Amino acid sequence: MRAEAPVREQPREHPMESLLRMDRIPHIWCPTCGIGTALTAFAAALEEREIAADSVSIVSGIGCTGRVAGYTKLDSYHTTHGRAVPFAVGLHLANPSLKVVVFSGDGDLVGIGGNHFIHAARRNVDLTVVCVNNFLYAMTGGQAAATSPLTANTSTSPYGNFERPFNLPLLAASSGAVYVARWTALHIRRLTKAFGEALEKRGFSLVEVIAPCSTLYARRNRLGTGLDLMKFYHDNSEIRHGADPNDLDIGFQEKIICGKFVDIERPTFLDAMNQRYREVFGDEYQEYGGSHG
C-alpha cells in the first residue's frame, strides 16, 4: 500500500473525489486502461442525475473491472467470480430501497456468470449492469473470453481465437433486458448519459462499455497502447440507435456499432410478484416492500 503521493500545484480537489475511496487511489489499472474512464462516467452520471449516493450499492466480481467496487465510495461488495449478479439480486430483493449496480467485466458477467446474467435479465430484476468489455480476461493475464473477437490473440488462443464470441446486446435483449446500450470508453458523454438512463430505468438494464486493454489485448494483438485503441474507436465506431441487436457482432478490429438498442417497459420481478399475489390473495396480501428489519 503506497502512501498517497504528494500533490503539487492544485488548490482544489478533483470533483469525483467524494465518490472515490481516496485512501486507495492511485488505482491498480494500467496506463491507458479504459476502466478508470468508465468509472469516471459512472460517477458523473450519479452526480448529473442527482442520485443519492447513500442509496446506491455497487457489486462487482473478480477481474480488473471487478476492482471498481474497491475504489468507489458507496456501499460496495467485491464478491466471487461470476456471482456479482446473483448477489445483487439477493441484495435488491431483500432491500428494494437500494439502487443496486453491478459493475463487472465481460469474463465475469457472461463467461462464468453467464447463467446468472441471462436469468436476472429474464426475471427483469431491477438492476443496472455495467459490463466493461475489453475482450478478454485481463486480470489473470489475458486469456480468451466469451467476447474475444474471431482471430484475436489471447494467452489461451495464441494462434488466434476460433470461437465465435457473444454479442452482448443480443444476449441481453433476447434474455429480456429492458434497456440495452453499448458505447466505447471514448464516447464519454453519451456513456455518461446511458449510465444515467440505465440507473433510472426500472428493470434489468445493461450498458456495455467497450474499453481498451493496453497491457494484454492491445499488446498481444500488436495494436499499440490503449490510446491507439481509443483512436480506433474514434475512426471505427458508428452510432446506430435502435439497431437490431442481431447486427451488433464485433469482429476483430472491425466496425463497432454503438447506441441505445433497447428501451422498453416490462414489469420487474417484484412488480410481477406483487401483481400475482394480489390477484390470488386479494386484500389479504400486503404488497412487498422489503424484507429487511
Partner 1 sequence: MKADPKGVLTGAHYIDGNFAIAEGALAAECRFFAGYPITPSTEIAERFVERIPLVGGVFVQMEDELGSMNAVLGASWGGAKSMTCTSGPGFSLMMENFGLGLMLETPCVVVNVQRGGPSTGLPTLPGQGDMMQARWGSHGDYEVIALAPDSPQEGFELAIDAFNLSERYRMPVLVMTDECVGHMTEKVVIPAAEEIELEPRRYTKKPPGQFLPYEVGEDLVPDAPYPGKGYRFHVTGLTHDERGYPVINEEAQDKLVRRLVDKVKKNADNIMRYEEADIDGADVVVVSYGITSRVVKPALAKAKKKGIKVGELRLVVVWPFPEGRIRELAGSVGAFVVPELNLGQVVLEVERCAAGKCRTIPVTHAGGGVHDPDVIFEAIKEAAK
Partner 2 sequence: MKFWRTPLDVDRLKIPHGQVYIIKDRCKGCGFCVEYCPRGALEMSDEFNAKGYHPPRVTDDSLCVNCNLCEMLCPEFAIFCVPKEQTEAGEVKHVEG
Q: Which of 42, 44, 121, 154 binds partner 2 (CB under 8 A)?
A: 44
Single out the segment in contact with partner 1 by CB under 8 A; choices: 70-78, 143-151, 227-235, 252-260.
Answer: 70-78
| CA 130 to chain CA mean position, Å | 2
- Pick left, alpha or beta for residue 265 (phi over 0 → left; psi -120 to 50 → alpha; otherwise beta): beta
State yes or no: residue 3 binds partner 1 (CB under 8 A): no
Single out the segment in contact with partner 2 by CB under 8 A; choices: 54-62, 82-90, 128-136, 187-195.
Answer: 187-195
Query: Whose CA is closest to 218, among 172, 274, 210?
Result: 210
* 230-289 positions binding partner 1, by CB under 8 A: 269, 273, 277, 280-281, 284-286, 288
State yes or no: residue 1 binds partner 2 (CB under 8 A): no
**Beta-ladder partners of 209:** 132, 183
Write the burial class of residue 63 (CB in 10 Å: 0-12 exposed, 13-18 middle, 19+ buried): buried
Q: How many residues bind partner 1 (CB under 8 A)?
A: 51
Q: Are strands 56-60 and 99-105 parallel, antiparallel or unpaired?
A: parallel
Q: How far apart are CA 165 and CA 144, in angstroms?
A: 10
- Taking the least distance from each CB to partner 2, the nearer of 191 and 262 is 191
- Taking the least distance from each CB to partner 2, the nearer of 45 and 125 is 45
State yes or no: residue 290 binds partner 1 (CB under 8 A): yes
Helical residues (DSSP H) of 238-268, grouped into ranges: none
- SS3 call for 133: strand
- SS3 call for 67: helix
Q: How far apart are CA 87 and CA 205, in angstroms?
A: 16
Binding mask 118-157 for partner 1 (x = CB under 8 A): -x---x----------------------------------
Residues 50/96, Cβ–Cβ less than 8 Å: no
State yes or no: residue 41 binds partner 2 (CB under 8 A): yes
Q: How far apart are CA 215 and CA 223, in angstroms?
A: 10
State yes or no: residue 2 binds partner 1 (CB under 8 A): no
State yes or no: residue 182 binds partner 1 (CB under 8 A): no
| CA 83 to chain CA mean position, Å | 14
- Taking the least distance from each CB to partner 1, the nearer of 109 and 258 is 109
Q: How far is the CB of 133 from partner 2 (least distance, A)?
A: 16
Positions that interact with partner 1 (CB under 8 A): 1, 21, 23-24, 53-55, 57, 59, 69-70, 73-80, 82-83, 85-95, 97-98, 115-116, 119, 123, 269, 273, 277, 280-281, 284-286, 288, 290-293
